[in-house]
């Protein structure tokens, strides 16, 4: 089962995550993210807001993987907790991508319980359940992905030293664990970051972007 968790958290999983920067591209353009120190601050605020919400939703979806009604409610909760339309669209794009991959890796009737275009955390939670993982595992994968994808995008866009970026991400491990533990406790967080929402919306209106979000 540990191998399944590693597979879900692996950036090489062809679920479309590589096309999204999690707001990093616009943060760089706006001068919010310029160096390893500002990258660490950006990742931490993303982890404790959007990452915490994603972890809570993933854990809840893992618990309700074969309950279509419960998953529909969670999908609506994800919409309500994602103020930015561009972020909602990005989440559903990545959700569709994950369903395509994970449903082939772990075939299970539970996949039919998901909405047609689910938010990414819901697809992640069902993937975890079909792979025999726990809600805490699902929360851990969601929390880790909330920082690992943006960190990789920053490395590419700023030509940062990969070792430095890896160290920045690794130092967030205790906070990733805390977010996952809180998510596994059962409550759905509703933390948001207006700056990240604004950056995402400005990014969506650009014609010269490298990443979809």
Q: Is the predicted pLDDT of residue 6 greater than 90, yes or no?
A: no
Q: What angle do CA 211, 212, 213 make, to 5 degrees?
A: 90
Pairwise CA distance, residues 41 & 150, whole Å: 12
Query: Which residues are within 8 A (CB) of 13 and not within 5 positions of it... i.e. 6 or more apart?
Result: 7, 98, 101
Identify whether the C-beta of residue 143 lies closer than 8 Å to the C-beta of residue 176: yes
**DSSP summary character for residue 73:** H
Which token pair is 108? Answer: 């299970």
pLDDT by residue (tens digit) across 133-186? 999 999 999 999 999 999 999 999 999 999 999 999 999 999 999 999 999 998
Q: How confident is the model at residue 191 (pLDDT cuts 50, 70, 90)?
A: confident
Q: What pTM does this model have?
A: 0.93
Residues 12, 199: Cα–Cα separation, whole Å: 26
Q: What is the pLDDT of residue 52?
A: 96
Check residue 205 and report its DSSP letter: T
User: Which pLDDT value is given to residue 15?
Assistant: 66
CB 155 within 8 A of CB 22: no
Instruction: Return the pLDDT at 187.
Output: 81
Note whether 153 and 25 are within 8 A (CB): yes
Q: Would you state the CATH architecture of domain 2-9+17-204?
A: Orthogonal Bundle (1.10)
The pLDDT of residue 64 is 96
pLDDT given for residue 206 in this prediction? 81
pLDDT higher than threshold 70 for residue 16: no
Question: Cβ(52)–Cβ(144) under 8 Å?
Answer: no
Q: If pLDDT is split at 50, 70 and 90, which confidence band does 201 have?
A: confident
On the question of pLDDT at 9 being above 90, the answer is no
Which three-class secondary structure state does DSSP give residue 48?
Answer: helix
The rounded distance, in Å, linking the Cα atoms of 21 and 26 is 9
The share of the chain scoring above pLDDT 70, in percent, equals 96
CB 128 within 8 A of CB 62: yes
Residue of higher predicted confidence among 20 and 110: 110
| CB contact set of 174 (below 8 Å; sequence gap of 6+) | none
């Amino acid at each position: 089962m540990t191998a399944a968790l590693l597979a879900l958290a692996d950036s090489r999983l062809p679920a479309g995550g590589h096309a999204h920067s999690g707001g990093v591209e616009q943060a760089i353009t706006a001068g919010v993210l310029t160096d390893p120190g500002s990258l660490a601050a950006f990742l931490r605020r993303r982890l404790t807001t959007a990452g915490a919400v994603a972890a809570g939703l993933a854990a809840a979806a893992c618990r309700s993987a074969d309950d279509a009604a419960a998953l529909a409610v969670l999908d609506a909760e994800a919409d309500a907790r994602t103020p930015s339309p561009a972020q909602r669209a990005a989440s559903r794009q990545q959700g569709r991508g994950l369903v395509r991959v994970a449903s082939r890796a772990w075939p299970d009737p539970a996949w039919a319980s998901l909405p047609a275009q689910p938010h990414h955390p819901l697809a992640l939670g069902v993937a975890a359940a079909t792979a025999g993982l726990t809600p805490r595992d699902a929360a851990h994968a969601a929390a880790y992905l909330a920082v690992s994808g943006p960190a990789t995008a920053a490395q590419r866009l700023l030509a940062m030293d990969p070792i430095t970026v890896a160290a920045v991400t690794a130092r967030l491990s205790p906070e990733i664990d805390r977010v996952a533990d809180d998510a596994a406790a059962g409550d759905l967080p509703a933390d948001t970051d207006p700056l990240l929402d604004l950056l995402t919306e400005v990014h969506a209106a650009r014609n010269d972007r490298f990443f979809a979000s």
